Chain A
Amino acid sequence: MKTQVPILITMIVGASLVLAMFVPHSPFRTLDEHFSVWFDILACFAFVLGGGNLLKVHLRKVSARGKDWAYSAVTVASFLVMLVAGLFKLGAPSWDTDFIGDGTWFKAIYDATFAPLQATMFSLLAFFVASASFRAFRAKTREATLLLVAASIILVGRTPLGDTLTAWLPRPLEFLRIANLSNWLLSVPNLAGQRAIMVGIALGVISTSLKLILGIERSHLGGVRE
């Protein structure tokens, strides 16, 4: 029951979805679409599971009064405030309006906190890009040097300065202008590399899927092979 049934479920669901590509007959025709919606629904139950787990972890920290328990209280409080505001559509004119419409508390909290926090975390990347450039991008090997050269051409090529720097090149050497060079880099070697990676990944995905459907891969079930 604990291992065999899950393996059987995985096998049936996976195999019928693969068949669905070739078999237009019902029920296969709409299987992909229905299973997608089912998965979305399950993922939403998972939000409840996740939220429950989050509360459990942080409430335990609060009640134990360990180090930094006050911050856990911040997490619990902000979780509950956002949850209540959203589930009860606080501030909305009626129940049949959008839960994140204008004037709702949910949207106001979102605008004041969620949106700037997200954008700022995102923009931290510019700083980390700078420190990584200094620390990590070193021409240790021939490979690393290639990466650096390609990156530098793009970095300079995508600014007004790069244009000015190489605009003097005469017509027969036009292809060496940095804008042209960076275009070529993107549309030729970059393309080849992307393709090799994509085909490799596709085979990796196909192989993993097959192992799951055939029940060979089962470590996600805690399954040590019998």
Chain B
Amino acid sequence: MTPDAWFNPAKSNLFVIAAILVAGFVWSIQRARAGAPIKIRRIAGLDAIEEAVGRATEMGRAVLFVPGMRDMDNVQTIAGVTILGGVARKTAEYDTRLIVPTSRSLVMSTAREAVRGAYLAAGRPDLYSDEMIYYVTDEQFGYVAHLDGVMVRQRPAACIYMGPFFAESLILAETGNSVGAIQVAGTAQPQQLPFFVAACDYTLIGEEIFAASAYLSRDPAMVGSLRGQDFGKLVAMGAIAAGVLIETLRVVTGSVALASLSERFLRLFALNF
């Protein structure tokens, strides 16, 4: 490869895979926009958010929303802020107090835009104030110490954790539980999922957190993108199934032709073609 070429041939397989995925997404989105009906399965964790906000309203207590421990360069954080928009729309409709402490000031800025937009869309811009969303500290456990303090002193009726979480997941969920809050969590950090699954009432597992904004908005283009995600999974499953079949036949038959086919097939998924 010459350093000044306009295309890197070592990445041509990745280019094709990316093109297939993107085409699948765009096609699904276009079809949805054109009005093709798309069914989406129930995601219990997201339905629970409405229930949680409703309960906070009944009890006259606040909703605490935690968008995770990373900055806006993390896609999970972006997903978290998008879900926050949906939550804010509900708290605006029900006139329920919303508390959003953040551990990054960029997240604070973005979250303010999202919440302000939601209150406007719900027709209650009068209820919005910047003070609902504030920066605490970038330090993981300093932030956790503050969140614990907020929970025991303000006793929110609902705690919603959406975004990237690390060791603190259990401290938050257990403290939230001790004040009797209904808790909904979602993260794509595999190591933290068992703690959320065990200690919270509802948990969005892995990919589900990225489906949330589409699910909440019910906007055709967004719902179409979920279809695109499913298409991607089909591509992955098909590739695995085909590869496993070739490999198994190779081992069973010991054929040389299959060995070279299997090698070529695996090369399609090499990081440097």
Q: List the interface of chain A (C-beta within 8 A of B).
A: 18, 21-26, 29, 39, 42-43, 46-47, 49-50, 53-54, 57, 114, 117-118, 121-122, 124-125, 128-129, 131-132, 135-137, 147, 151, 194, 197-201, 203-212, 216-217, 219-225
A24 to B217, CA, bound (A): 39
A22–B15 touching, CB < 8 Å: yes
> Looking across the interface, which residue of chain B has its beta carbon closest to that of A135?
B177
Main secondary structure of the interface of B (DSSP, over half): helix
Interface centre among A54, A122, A220 (most CB of B within 10 A): A220
A75 to B206, CA, bound (A): 36
A122–B167 touching, CB < 8 Å: yes
A207–B228 touching, CB < 8 Å: yes
CB distance from A43 to the nearest CB of B (A): 6
Which chain B residues in 167-225 approach chain A with CB under 8 Å?
Answer: 167, 170-171, 173-175, 177, 188, 190, 193-195, 197-199, 205-207, 209-211, 213, 217, 219, 221-222, 225
Main secondary structure of the interface of A (DSSP, over half): helix
Q: Name the B residues within 8 Å of A29 (CB-CB).
A: 3
Q: Nearest 7 CB-CB pairs, A to B?
A: A204-B210, A222-B117, A50-B105, A200-B207, A121-B141, A222-B113, A136-B198
A112 to B202, CA, bound (A): 40
A47–B138 touching, CB < 8 Å: yes
A145 to B75, CA, bound (A): 33
> Looking across the interface, which residue of chain A has its beta carbon closest to that of B193?
A197
A217 to B214, CA, bound (A): 9
Q: Name the A residues within 8 Å of B205 (CB-CB).
A: 197
Q: Is B233 an interface residue (CB 8 A)?
A: yes
Q: List the interface of chain B (C-beta within 8 A of A).
A: 1-8, 11, 14-15, 18, 21-22, 25, 29, 71, 73, 75, 78-79, 81-82, 85, 104-106, 108-110, 113-114, 116-118, 120-121, 131, 134-142, 144-145, 167, 170-171, 173-175, 177, 188, 190, 193-195, 197-199, 205-207, 209-211, 213, 217, 219, 221-222, 225-226, 228-229, 232-233, 236
B199–A136 touching, CB < 8 Å: yes
A129 to B95, CA, bound (A): 36
Please name 20 pairs of A and B residues whose Cβ atoms are closer than 8 Å in the assembled complex, sorted by A.
Answer: A22-B14, A24-B4, A25-B5, A50-B105, A54-B136, A114-B139, A135-B177, A135-B199, A136-B177, A198-B190, A200-B206, A203-B232, A204-B188, A204-B206, A208-B75, A210-B25, A210-B225, A220-B113, A222-B116, A222-B117
A25-B5, A199-B233, A219-B114 given; A205·B210 CB < 8 A: yes
A204-B206, A204-B211, A216-B222 given; A125·B170 CB < 8 A: yes
Q: Name the B residues within 8 Å of A205 (CB-CB).
A: 75, 210
Q: Name the A residues within 8 Å of B207 (CB-CB).
A: 197, 200-201, 203-204
